[in-house]
Amino acid sequence: MILAVGSVVPYRNGVIEHHPYGFYLSAMKYLGDGILSKGLESIQDLLLVGRFAIYHHIGTSIWEILRLCMRLCVEQGLHKPPSSTSSCSLLEEQLQRRVFWECYMIDRYSSSTLDRPCGIADKYIKIGFPADANDEDLEAADISRSFPNLDSFCAASSINSPSGSGNTEMSVFFACLRLRQITSKIHSKFGDKATSTTTRHEATARGAIYGELDHLLSELHGWRCTTPLFNNPRSLYEMQDWYDLLYFRERLQLVRKAIDLVPKLNGVPPRDLLSLCLQCATGAITAFWKLFEPKKITFTRSYFQMLFTAGLSIMYSLSVVGDFDPASMKAGTEAVTTCEYILKQMGVNLSDAKRYVAVYEALRGYVIRKYSRNLQMDPQPEHGLLASTPHFYQNPAPNLAVSHDERNTGDISGTRMPTFNGVGFTNHHADQTSGDFPLLDTQLADLPIMHGTTDSLYNDASISDGSVLSWNIFGDDALWNMEAGLNEYAYGDPPATLYLEDPFDLQNIL
């Protein structure tokens, strides 16, 4: 199974000839009827099966595999400290913790994406993190018998090894784990759409949501500033562009959840949230393109879902707010076109995604036609981000975590992040002081949506010609359900309507 997972990218890049599915089929022959009765090994086997299912459809829901993994973790007591009579070595205890927290990370990501309950609540997790050490160090400590358990080893290591002393084989693991803890907070605060603002006091609902949003954005900013830095990356997971992608993807998901819950005026979300949504979605698409174009990252249903959602978010933001500055609109429209190009590339290999590509292409046509006329830009990919990625990064980008009055002092990885008229990112590992910056541009909060006014860049005459989307696109049940169905599709469990002749009722929508 390790060969199956490890050969996916080399096979797709033409480096090897053996199809990964052959390794998968060979591995499945050895699972047998006792797959669930082998203790920790059973969870490891299922994690590998689930990992392979991310790249290839195996006829089983990834969601169900992950839920089974977490159930086995709880049954084996991996969520709490081992008993005092346990005879596990430090390395064995390390492995148990690594398996549990790996299940935790995947569970949090999938639960947040699908808006479903988590496998286990954070309050029931009593086990500590794995040791931030290489396996060789744990083996040496086992031989010396200097530490009765892993917690004592971790305590001694934190004292003897100053922070920032260097990366270990666990550095990437901990970076991902810290991110998923933030994901868990996002899910608990915003994940349940049934908890609508009607349960809050009408006068304080918006302030409460903004307060929670600002706090979570601050945590994400702090996470990005403390991700490990590798001078000579050996894999995708050591590249700064990879952390950029995780950062923008998580911000986009957070902002979209806030938009779902915040009180709206005539069905239109607040302008500042739409501006932030545009920035995060553009950043997510751009970060993905930087990895996808040189074949550092491959196609999956999960990435397809993320890109589709990001593109739809940009189109919605541009359609509702008609007076974004030209730089933001140009960056957004270029990202939308780039996203379509990537989705089409993925659709060649993900044949069951072609319907979604067709819907995206039709929606993109409306937005590009509108803004290409005003910006005098060619809507074709070769004149946008696809052919000029460097220019999209070269301009200094102010901090995503500060208001537009403050200046940016650098970037994350040596190449400039996208210019978004007031958004960007500060230096990697910048000094953090809590409370020094608002993560929402409060100057935008009270600005009205300017459709129908003489001050609008795009007045009603330009938006009534049938060339743009409706303001209330996300209020349209068909489009909203389509997106929910795409989330299910990403986990190998598509809705039944996917196989109907016209699952999205395109004749009526478009």
Per-residue pLDDT band for 386 (boundaries 50, 70, 90) equals low
Which of 499, 504, 501 is CA-nearest to residue 481? 504
Q: Name which residue leads in pLDDT, 269 or 404.
A: 269
**Which region among 39-53, 361-375, 454-468 has the lowest average model confidence (pLDDT)?**
454-468
Across the chain, mean pLDDT equals 76
Q: What is the mean pLDDT of residues 76-92?
A: 87
Percent of the chain whose pLDDT exceeds 90 = 40
- What pLDDT, on a 0 to 100 scale, did the predictor assign at position 167? 87
Percent of the chain whose pLDDT exceeds 70 = 69
Enter the tokens of residue 93.
């205890």
User: Structure pTM?
Assistant: 0.77
Under DSSP, the state recorded for 7 is T
Give residue-wise pLDDT tens across range 130-163: 998 889 889 888 888 888 888 888 888 776 665 5
Give residue-wise pLDDT tens across range 340-379: 999 999 999 887 888 889 889 888 887 777 666 655 544 4
Q: Name which residue leads in pLDDT, 288 or 329.
A: 288
Inform me whether the pLDDT recorded for 113 exceeds 50. yes
- What pLDDT, on a 0 to 100 scale, did the predictor assign at position 181? 96
Q: What is the mean pLDDT of residues 248-275?
A: 91
Give residue-wise pLDDT tens across range 153-193: 888 877 666 555 578 889 999 999 999 999 999 998 887 65
- What pLDDT, on a 0 to 100 scale, did the predictor assign at position 385? 55
- What pLDDT, on a 0 to 100 scale, did the predictor assign at position 160? 64
**Which region among 13-17, 21-25, 32-36, 252-256 has the lowest average model confidence (pLDDT)?**
32-36
- What pLDDT, on a 0 to 100 scale, did the predictor assign at position 203? 61
Euclidean distance between CA atoms 414 and 222, whole angstroms: 19
Q: What is the mean pLDDT of residues 220-224?
A: 97
- What pLDDT, on a 0 to 100 scale, did the predictor assign at position 87? 79
- What pLDDT, on a 0 to 100 scale, did the predictor assign at position 192? 60
As a three-state string, the secondary structure of 453-505 is CCCCCCCHHHHCCCCCCCCCHHHCHHHHHHHHHHHHHHCCCCCHHHHCCCCCC
Inform me whether the pLDDT recorded for 74 exceeds 90. yes
Euclidean distance between CA atoms 365 and 398, whole angstroms: 30
- What pLDDT, on a 0 to 100 scale, did the predictor assign at position 47? 94
Enter the tokens of residue 115.
């808006």
Q: Name which residue leads in pLDDT, 80 or 387.
A: 80
Which of 255, 271, 279, 252 is CA-nearest to residue 323? 271
Q: What is the mean pLDDT of residues 208-237?
A: 94
Give how far the C-alpha of residue 196 lies from the chain's centroid of Cα atoms, to the nearest Å. Answer: 24
Residue 429's contacts (CB-CB under 8 Å, 6 or more residues apart) are: 225, 226, 229
How many other C-beta atoms lie within 10 A of the C-beta of residue 34? 8
- What pLDDT, on a 0 to 100 scale, did the predictor assign at position 470? 46
Q: What is the mean pLDDT of residues 445-461?
A: 35
Enter the tokens of residue 328.
């933001």
Inform me whether the pLDDT recorded for 325 exceeds 90. no
Inform me whether the pLDDT recorded for 437 exceeds 80. no
Sign of the four-CA dihedral 184, 185, 186, 189: positive
Domain ranges within the chain, ordered by starting residue: 31-128, 269-509
Per-residue pLDDT band for 247 (boundaries 50, 70, 90) equals very high
Enter the tokens of residue 372.
């290409």
Euclidean distance between CA atoms 450 and 229, whole angstroms: 44
Contact yes or no for 390/337 (Cβ under 8 A):
no
Enter the tokens of residue 232.
């000579």
Which of 330, 322, 333, 343 is CA-nearest to residue 364? 333
**Which region among 60-64, 468-472, 482-486 has the lowest average model confidence (pLDDT)?**
468-472
- What pLDDT, on a 0 to 100 scale, did the predictor assign at position 485? 66
Per-residue pLDDT band for 502 (boundaries 50, 70, 90) equals very low
Under DSSP, the state recorded for 152 is H
As a three-state string, the secondary structure of 250-308 is HHHHHHHHHHHHCCCECCECCHHHHHHHHHHHHHHHHHHHHHHCCCCCCCCHHHHHHHH
- What pLDDT, on a 0 to 100 scale, did the predictor assign at position 282? 96
Cα dihedral value 480, 485, 490, 493, nearest 10: 160
Cα angle 18, 19, 24 (rounded to 5 degrees) comes to 115
Per-residue pLDDT band for 86 (boundaries 50, 70, 90) equals confident
- What pLDDT, on a 0 to 100 scale, did the predictor assign at position 370? 64
- What pLDDT, on a 0 to 100 scale, did the predictor assign at position 449? 35
Cα angle 274, 278, 279 (rounded to 5 degrees) comes to 120
Which of 92, 263, 122 is CA-nearest to residue 188? 122
**Which region among 236-250, 305-319, 432-446 has the lowest average model confidence (pLDDT)?**
432-446
